[in-house]
Structure 1
């Protein structure tokens, strides 16, 4: 994997490749993730709207021109913490950590942390006990999903008053698709409208596709607006680590590092054949297209459809008895079956999630012989998936996920 030594030549080569590939059709689907049966997932379905309208960002050889379609990504800043502070104004300016029952002596993880708490190294997904060690003076509050759902619903309704198609991503974020010659003005209008209606701040990323709009939001935070398009993609992103790209995590980054790839520019100029050999014929080229800034351009209000249903439990004591662990998995599987039947869609695959002591998480899955909503078959599949784990390690969390076949019910 040789590369030009001249930085200007590198930038020029990437820009040319970006222009070429963004206008070529791709067989690679956008990055997707399985969605659990969380309120975050349910609100997407509830608020996605039913109009089915779609807007597609258009591209020309010289980039997006005035009057063309734009993608905006609206992200509520520190959403859960902000809702809690709005309910308790006396907490403004103090480090606030939300998660579990709000008791850092119990096993649970941080749902969100205020910016003040983040300055101490507290972040989402961190055990509450560790958050307490890092920020002893933080205010710990229990998670209140119904309250967040209500506020989020209000925010999405506010966004729908704007001249744009709204695609809900979760409690705290949405894509807007709009035809305008001044996307910054629309972004500012969105920020002002949300602030006036709820008192909450949001950041807005502007892009010529979803990937760039999503990444732009990171540069906009907090409470700002940022535009990222093919025009400034190389300047802004080329020298950043591959983990800066939406869809590339630490594990993929480690595999890329084995190929000598550490930056967005390095990935953009990587040999497609080498990437395909390491990651597969679909994922390899897809990773390179991410580095080139390629992304989906459709923003749609079509109702969101869940890809899975899941349940999980964090235990206040470590589980070491294999039979007890199996029984807990069976119990979770039965709860998942209730959700599957309520959805009215049979499961095609069952996945078990195990978090071992101290905090390492692994998943294993089993495909079903045929789609089913039968409790015995889903239970048995969950137990079979559990058998693929190391049964000698202590367990602190278990989860079961039932995945559906693609397409709407």
Structure 2
């Protein structure tokens, strides 16, 4: 019995959610990544006025963009100022992660109604094992994959009905090939691949299309004269090991031949949860203490909310700082007891902050909680921990007033 693994990827997910809210923007280049100040303004006549990328000033980056914006050369991870030079008339909208998480839950529930064996890979993508879904193994007419095609189409229709959004699905014998296929016919695509079609359909593609081959590996392959997946498959494994190391070289050989035995994992425990933000201008621990303090407290509250929503507690509290010279530092502090309390997290993160030289201006600030376990009855808080529960208003704004910054 053939194995059918699907990879489902929502199309321009964040941007598509925003278009549900602002349907008048359909067909226009739209970029997601602004702050709250980029919320649309409602005029006296009830029409909405949107911020344009040409007017953006700051150091934010694109979270995602509509396909119309991508056609102009902008993409996720690009700086908004650089994108403004390419697409000055693109609409700029702020991110709304609460809305994105809501639609993420909706589309995954819609998939589970048809195919319950799901591996969650993030807010906008999943793997699905379709092998044992009723009807998937049926041959329809002369199409050996007619049954699984019908199942995949039913999933796409169910997602559309539940969310109003489109998705792209790749179906193949394993996760590696399914991930590659889901990106071949976006948006709203459906690509099915049989094992015997690997050489004709995938080998002509650039090697960088394989998930796991990043920019550095791709550049090195090109320098060695390997451009396509087929050329990578033809390379001698010993030669690959010589240039990329034994493990990575062996993986490159296996991946080019479409080999992947990984199962669809229906449940995995998160290692940590974190929140971070990049500032629109560099901030200084002394001159911008109050603003940084508010941001710091908000990040701690957001992480605490994430823990509570997903039912976890953690012991290791960490911070991440990136300075104006792009140097990044991290600090961790391990508590005696597990927690999901925002004030406890804030106090422990503040202790981490004392161990950092804050003379340079900051570009980025992040808070992380690790060493997670499922929430359950917690032991009583001991006397030394009471100090950590002091009201947020009495916490240092950012850093300690006595630390000289």
Contact 1:71 1:210 in 2 (8 A): yes
Higher RCO structure (Cα 8 Å, ≥6 apart)? 1
Structure 1 residues 306, 371: CA separation in 2 closer, same or farther (over 3 Å shift)?
farther
* Matched residue, 1:238: 203
Q: What RMSD, in angstroms, separates the aligned Cα atoms of the two structures? A: 4.0
Structure 1 residues 399, 255: CA separation in 2 closer, same or farther (over 3 Å shift)?
farther
Contact 1:336 1:401 in 2 (8 A): no
Higher alpha-carbon deviation: 260-269 or 180-189: 260-269
Distance in 2 of aligned mates of 1:351 and 1:265:
44
Distance in 2 of aligned mates of 1:207 and 1:97:
32
Distance in 1 of aligned mates of 2:214 and 2:333:
29
Higher alpha-carbon deviation: 198-207 or 308-317: 308-317
Q: Do residues 396 (structure 1) and 363 (structure 2) align?
A: yes
Distance in 1 of aligned mates of 2:217 and 2:115:
38
Distance in 2 of aligned mates of 1:231 and 1:371:
56
Contact 1:382 1:400 in 2 (8 A): no
Which of 158, 181, 188 is residue 223 of structure 1 equivalent to? 188
Shift, 1:393, TM fit: 9.0
Distance in 2 of aligned mates of 1:283 and 1:371:
39
Distance in 2 of aligned mates of 1:274 and 1:135:
44
Contact 1:108 1:128 in 2 (8 A): yes
* Matched residue, 1:263: 228
Which of 13, 25, 33 is residue 79 of structure 1 equivalent to? 13
Distance in 2 of aligned mates of 1:152 and 1:367:
31
Q: Do residues 207 (structure 1) and 133 (structure 2) align?
A: no
Contact 1:245 1:290 in 2 (8 A): yes
Which of 315, 334, 345 is residue 279 of structure 2 equivalent to? 315
Shift, 1:324, TM fit: 9.2
Deviation readout 1:74-107 (Å, 9 max, x if unpaired): 1111111111111122111111111131363233
Contact 2:104 2:123 in 1 (8 A): yes
Contact 2:273 2:307 in 1 (8 A): no
Shift, 1:72, TM fit: 1.0
* Matched residue, 1:169: 121
Query: How does the TM-score come out when normalised to structure 2?
Result: 0.67
Distance in 2 of aligned mates of 1:121 and 1:282:
35
Structure 2 unmatched runs, 5+: 39-50, 138-146, 339-343, 376-405
Q: Do residues 151 (structure 1) and 103 (structure 2) align?
A: yes
Distance in 2 of aligned mates of 1:143 and 1:75:
19
Structure 1 residues 345, 356: CA separation in 2 closer, same or farther (over 3 Å shift)?
same
* Matched residue, 2:4: 70
Distance in 1 of aligned mates of 2:215 and 2:67:
23
* Matched residue, 2:77: 125
Deviation readout 1:220-255 (Å, 9 max, x if unpaired): 211121113421222223233321110111122233
Structure 1 residues 393, 148: CA separation in 2 closer, same or farther (over 3 Å shift)?
same
Structure 1 unmatched runs, 5+: 1-66
* Matched residue, 1:93: 27
Shift, 1:211, TM fit: 0.8
Where 1:298 maps in the other structure, the secondary structure is coil
Distance in 2 of aligned mates of 1:73 and 1:338:
29
Distance in 1 of aligned mates of 2:96 and 2:185:
27
Where do 1:2-401 residues align within 5 Å? 67-101=1-35, 102=38, 104-179=56-131, 180-181=136-137, 182-302=147-267, 304-318=268-282, 335=300, 343-347=312-316, 352=320, 354=322, 396-399=363-366
Shift, 1:256, TM fit: 3.3
Structure 1 residues 377, 150: CA separation in 2 closer, same or farther (over 3 Å shift)?
closer
Structure 1 residues 253, 82: CA separation in 2 closer, same or farther (over 3 Å shift)?
same
Deviation readout 1:169-203 (Å, 9 max, x if unpaired): 22222111122222111111111111222221111
Deviation readout 1:130-162 (Å, 9 max, x if unpaired): 222222222211111111111221111111110
Query: How does the TM-score come out when normalised to structure 1?
Result: 0.67
Structure 1 residues 320, 267: CA separation in 2 closer, same or farther (over 3 Å shift)?
farther
Contact 2:323 2:360 in 1 (8 A): no
Higher alpha-carbon deviation: 91-100 or 292-301: 292-301
